[in-house]
Structure formats: structure tokens, C-alpha cells
Copies of this chain bind each other. A is one copy, B any other.
Amino acid sequence: MRESSPSAPEIVETEGQPRLNRRQAAKVRTRQKVLDAARALFAERGYDAATIRDIAKGAGMSTGAVFANFQDKAELFEAVFAEEMEGLLADIRGAATEGRVLDRLANGLTAGYHRSLDHLPLMQAMVARSWFQPEDADQRSRAFVRPLVEAVAEALQAGVREGELRQDVDVALVARMIWDVFISNYRFAAYDNWGIEELTPHIRKQLDLILSSQLARQ
């Protein structure tokens, strides 16, 4: 998910900041180590049962070192969540480039499954938390999900522009439904051992069902 530039891997996480001195670079590495330990523990235990103490232990640090980087568990979870959603967005966008609307969306969302199936428990912990979190945490996490729903909406809008979909498609409604269905399918992966072989035709059938009434009459 981290797009690593091979020549300078240690400055990857700094979002365009040009150069880091040794101390700054160490800080970035520490932060990433904490994030990685947090990802692993949230995936193992879910949000509530994960403790800062055990995250610190997983990162080989003191809790003080964790708190030097993150105010509390909620902020740490949010950073992991943001990282995950950014990666998912990049993968979905990257794969949703060719063909008709249905193909673009099916390929994009399948790429999303591809990326997250190897850390499915983290996805589960994230969806679980999205259902039971304080209002302000929801507002923030929603800001990270919005671009993903918008990516679906853009694919639909392109379909409208190109005359493949009807002019009166309720893009917001359809995009949100597709997103909800996409997320719901992770349950089959989690509890029915569905792999990419099952998820791929399934999301395609669902997209077909949702979109077929929205196709422009040819």
C-alpha cells in the first residue's frame, strides 16, 4: 500500500516533504513501526480489546514512545484506517480504467478485494468499528471513505457522459449502494471462506443487477 520509492524508502511516509534530517527520518520510522504494530493488533483483537500497552510491546517500544506519536488509541486507529482507505482507493482507481462501466467497476472493486483479503481481520475490525464509534470519530473516518464512494460515482458519471447509462441515473444513490454491497461481501470472505474466485463473479452479478435497469436504451 505504501508506494515505495526504492532509492529513499525512509522518506516515503512524509507526503512530499522534500528532505529529512536523520532525526526526522528516525521519527518517521518510529511512527510507521507503531502503525504496523497497531494494524496487527487491531486485526487480531478488534478495536476495543487492543491496548496501547500491547501495541507498544508489538512495536518493541515503551508506551511513552507510542504516546509521543499518537494522542490515544482512537487517533492510532484512525491513522491505520486512513492508510488502508488510501491504499484501497489507489487500487480501485488503478484497476477501474478500461471497458464499459460494469467492467470498470467490477475490475476496480475486485482489485479492492485482492488487496484486502490478505488482511481480512483488519477490514473486519474496521467495519465493526464503523458501526459503533463516537460521532466525531465517525465524521473523521467518513472523510476517508468519501473518496472511495466518489470513485464509484465517477465511474458511473463517465458512463452517463459516454451514453452507456441513462441520463437520469441517481448517481449518489447508486454509488452508495454499490459501496455498501461491496463492503457487505467481506462477510462471505470472513465467515464462508470466500476467496477472490467467489467474490469476483459475485460482485459482478450484483453490479449487473444494480446497473441493468440504468442502462441507456441502445
Q: Give residues in A with beta carbon < 8 Å to B.
A: 46-49, 121, 124-125, 127-132, 135, 138-139, 142, 170, 173-174, 177, 180-181, 183-184, 187, 190-191, 202, 205-206, 209-210, 212-214
Distance A214 CA – B131 CA, assembled complex (angstroms): 31
Residue pairs across A and B with Cβ atoms less than 8 A apart, 15 shown, are A46-B48, A47-B48, A48-B48, A128-B131, A130-B187, A131-B187, A138-B190, A173-B206, A173-B209, A177-B206, A180-B181, A180-B184, A183-B184, A212-B213, A213-B213
Nearest B residue to A202 via CB reads: B173
Q: Is the Cβ of B142 less than 8 Å from the Cβ of A209?
A: no
From B49, B124, B173, B181, give the contact of A131 (CB < 8 A): B124
Number of this chain's copies in the assembly equals: 2
Q: How far is the CB of A120 from chain B (nearest CB, A)?
A: 11
Other contacts beyond A127-B131, A184-B184: 15, CB < 8 A: A48-B49, A124-B132, A125-B132, A128-B131, A128-B132, A130-B187, A131-B131, A131-B187, A135-B191, A173-B206, A177-B181, A177-B209, A180-B181, A209-B213, A212-B213
Q: How far is the CB of A26 from chain B (nearest CB, A)?
A: 34
Distance A129 CA – B177 CA, assembled complex (angstroms): 22
Query: Chain B residues near A173 (CB, 8 Å)?
Result: 202, 205-206, 209
Distance A191 CA – B133 CA, assembled complex (angstroms): 10
Distance A130 CA – B213 CA, assembled complex (angstroms): 32
Q: How far is the CB of A95 from chain B (nearest CB, A)?
A: 23
Q: How far is the CB of A214 from chain B (nearest CB, A)?
A: 8
Q: How far is the CB of A84 from chain B (nearest CB, A)?
A: 15
From B121, B191, B206, give the contact of A138 (CB < 8 A): B191
Distance A138 CA – B142 CA, assembled complex (angstroms): 27
Nearest B residue to A49 via CB reads: B48
Nearest B residue to A132 via CB reads: B128
Distance A177 CA – B177 CA, assembled complex (angstroms): 10
Query: Chain B residues near A131 (CB, 8 Å)?
Result: 124-125, 127-128, 131, 187, 190
Q: How far is the CB of A15 from chain B (nearest CB, A)?
A: 27
Q: Is the Cβ of B46 less than 8 Å from the Cβ of A191?
A: no
